[in-house]
A and B are shown apart, each in its own frame.
Chain A
Amino acid sequence: MRWALGARTALKRVPLDMLTACFDRRSGMTHLLAAPAPELLAALAAGPADIALLLARMGIADADAEERAGLEAHLAALEAAGLVVRA
């Protein structure tokens, strides 16, 4: 299972204190992202990746089951928001 960023051409990002606001001009939706969502998007910016590669890009070695499950859940939330897609 690989993940990739969704279409980004219409996204405008505005960093706020604890959040990142992400405005999608095409849909008019605003996504408020808290850590680690922005970091996940940054890790995917280098190209599609599976869980193992994503963890490596985030500098996390030997992730346990809970951390992997958490990453899957974060990716699922980003997918629901339309910000990432399964590649």
Chain B
Amino acid sequence: MGHSDSSDGARRPLSADRRALLRLGAAGVSTVVTIRPALAQTAASVLTCEIPVPDPARAGDFIAADGSLVPTDTPGAFRPSARPFTGEEVKAALTGRSLPGVDHQRSRAYTNYIRRLQQGTSGFTCYASLQMPRA
């Protein structure tokens, strides 16, 4: 059986340390702490997070059918959304359903815009959160 050094330099058998550690259990000392991923919290915040179409910094632009931003009143392009969409709404749209309150073509343009979001653009974090797999 090996030995270990205690703080005063005396050598104690390892088994004595192990006995002391076992007694900690009887004293109610916890030696296991479990950190759970905050998936429930994450799910709630993802579903209510918002994605504006387009980014407020580009509020003057229209959205082309492919999701790119084009100058106002460009033929065939769609005006900005009156309100941001929630993560839950976008999640449903990504699986084929329309965004609420807009027709199918406009919804597809908006969805294409969202798919093009880059880091630094408003709504990117919300959109990226939708991509995370659930455990």
Q: List chain A positions with a Cβ less than 8 A from chain B.
A: 26-37, 39, 58-61, 63, 66-74, 77-78, 80-81, 83
Contacts and interface: CB of A to CB of B under 8 A. Distances in A.
Contact of B34 (A30, A60, A66, A68): A30
Interface stretch (B21-29, B44-52, B59-67, B108-116): B21-29
The bracket for how many chain B residues form the interface is 20 to 34
Nearest to A64: B19
B35 A70 contact: no
Contact of B14 (A32, A59, A61, A74): A59
Contacts of A60: 15, 18-19, 22
B92 interface: no
Contact of A69 (B25, B34, B35, B39): B25
Given A36-B18, A39-B18, A59-B1, A73 B25 contact: yes
A64 B39 CA distance: 43
26 contacts: A26-B135, A27-B37, A27-B135, A28-B37, A28-B39, A29-B35, A32-B34, A32-B35, A34-B31, A34-B32, A35-B21, A37-B32, A66-B26, A67-B19, A67-B22, A67-B23, A69-B26, A70-B21, A70-B22, A70-B23, A70-B25, A70-B26, A71-B22, A73-B25, A73-B28, A74-B25
A67 B15 CA distance: 12
B33 interface: yes
Contacts of B37: 27-29
A37 to B, nearest CB: 4
B41 interface: no
Contacts of A34: 31-32
A63 B15 CA distance: 10
A28 B39 CA distance: 9
